[in-house]
Amino acid sequence: GQNIDQPTEMTATEGAIVQINCTYQTSGFNGLFWYQQHAGEAPTFLSYNVLDGLEEKGRFSSFLSRSKGYSYLLLKELQMKDSASYLCAVRDLDSGAGSYQLTFGKGTKLSVIP
Amino acid sequence: KAGVTQTPRYLIKTRGQQVTLSCSPISGHRSVSWYQQTPGQGLQFLFEYFSETQRNKGNFPGRFSGRQFSNSRSEMNVSTLELGDSALYLCASSSEGGSQPQHFGDGTRLSIL
């Protein structure tokens, strides 16, 4: 199975930068996804990392270190609308079934305050 | 391009009943996955279907089952409902390819009385 850990809650100030960490333990690693979920809404895709390093997409960046089983999501120039839960999800290969499975962390609830 | 559509959006049932939830994936997506989301456990994987075959299954009891049709639409069934089955059930579809993300529907909120 997999073990994915993220902080439960974080609070940050509008205009600031926040880093949300995710650690995982898995075999057959095949990529890591970050999703954003506003209360009462569906998760929406933010970023994907499969190789080590930083992926930048506007105000959002995601980093991966496969050797450390570690990723982070960096949000810059925080806006009030960024208040949401951020879900880390690890995709790994089930060699027995010959298919991939996506396992989610429990999510980090980010509150952006004025 | 229409997104993932789930019906119904809300459902109230009583213990012991059964329920069927429906999911229509994004056109062209052949993989459909189902998740249960609760405040305490987060998003938990139920199963994945691809080309009408169950390709993967999570750790849920046999009361939870699903199927996929030739047009990739999927249904999930829960029999002998229990209070603990109250949750948001999310369906996600994706196209093939390692980097392809799953796209989620708005979910069905199931309440068991």
Mean pLDDT of B34-60: 91
Q: Does A91 touch chain B (CB under 8 A)?
A: yes
- Which residues are registered as beta bridge partners of B48? B33, B56
Cis ω for the linkage preceding B101 (within 30 of 0): no
- Which residues are registered as beta bridge partners of B31? B50, B94
In this model, does residue A92 exceed pLDDT 80?
yes
CA distance readout (Å), A49 to A5, A29, A45, A63:
17, 11, 12, 7
In this model, does residue B2 exceed pLDDT 80?
no
Q: Which residues fall within 8 angstroms of residue B51, CB to CB, at 6 or more apart? A: B30, B68
Please, which pLDDT band fits residue B90 given cuts at 50, 70 and 90?
Answer: very high
Chain B CA closest to residue A86: B42
Rounded CA-CA distance B38/A98 in Å is: 29
Task: Judge: B45–A31 Cβ closer than 8 Å, yes or no.
Answer: no
Is the model more confident about A40 or about A113? A113
In this model, does residue B96 exceed pLDDT 90?
no
Task: Judge: A103–B90 Cβ closer than 8 Å, yes or no.
Answer: no
User: In A, which residues are within 8 Å of B106 by CB distance?
Assistant: 41-42
- In this prediction, residue B97 carries a pLDDT of 66
Please, which pLDDT band fits residue B35 given cuts at 50, 70 and 90?
Answer: very high
Of B42, B48, B101, the CB nearest to A33: B101
- In this prediction, residue B82 carries a pLDDT of 97
In this model, does residue A93 exceed pLDDT 60?
yes
- In this prediction, residue A26 carries a pLDDT of 86
Q: Which residues fall within 8 angstroms of residue A114, CB to CB, at 6 or more apart? A: A13, A14, A80
For chains A and B, count residue pairs whose Cβ atoms are closer than 8 Å: 53
- H-helix or E-strand spanning residue B42: strand B42-50
